[in-house]
Amino acid sequence: MAENQASLLLRKQLKDLSRNPVDGFSAGLVDDSNLFEWNVTIIGPPDTLYEGGYFTAIMSFPPNYPNSPPSVRFTSDMWHPNVYPDGRVCISILHAPGDDPNGYELASERWSPVHTVETILLSIISMLSSPNDESPANIDAAKEWRETKEEFKRKVSRIVRRSQESM
């Protein structure tokens, strides 16, 4: 039953996004037979270090979506304090609902079933605009962001260029 509800909701969100595209990203299914795996392309936001980049990612939805959050993993190179070296995105709204066992986040900042593919991707775009180096997923990127901003900018500039070449 839950998987059926998740399928209906994901189908509706996919249809809404195809009818009313949102600036900054595109989304579609990896495979037409699986509503639970989406390909997304996030366009680097204007006036940020990521401007002009085309970053691809996979969104994987659990069978009990929207009660549990999807995971998002960049498949293109990404250098950012809130993206693990393997590409997994670490932002509050993708963390399981409820209290944070580490005490870093309020329950209100974590996953809620009201979130949609659109709100998740807009949050990731916002993350690109303003990294949170207080609780980094990529410690090296966070350290570089804080201490050697020019080197950080050079690395991001390289990944933006590579992303443009791969489109």
**42: nearest Cα among 32, 30, 57:** 57
Domain range summary for the chain, segments of one domain joined by +: 2-165
Look up 101 and say whether it is catalytic: no
β-strand partners of 58: 39, 73
d(CA 142, CA 132): 8
Q: Kindly state the greatest CA–CA separation across the chain.
A: 52
> One of 83, 90, 121, 141 is an active-site residue; which one?
90
How far apart are the C-alpha atoms of 26 and 41, rounded to whole Å? Answer: 5
Within the chain, residue ranges assigned H as helices are: 2-19, 117-129, 139-147, 149-165
What is the rounded distance in angstroms from the CA atom of residue 91 to the CA atom of residue 68? 14
- The pLDDT value given to residue 102: 75
Q: What is the pLDDT of residue 21?
A: 93
Q: How far is residue 44's CA from residue 68's CA, in Å, rounded to a whole number?
A: 27
Phi and psi at residue 68, to the nearest 5°: -125, 150
pLDDT at 103: 73
Instruction: Please list the pLDDT of the chain residue by residue as tens digits (167 residues).
Output: 555 899 999 999 999 999 999 999 999 999 999 999 999 999 999 999 999 999 999 999 999 999 999 999 999 999 999 999 999 999 999 998 888 777 777 788 889 999 999 999 999 999 999 998 888 999 999 999 999 999 999 999 999 999 999 87
What does the pLDDT read at residue 2?
55
Look at strands 71-74 and 25-31 and give their pairing.
unpaired
Burial-class residue 116 by CB neighbours within 10 Å (0-12, 13-18, 19+).
middle
What is the CATH architecture of 2-165?
Roll (3.10)
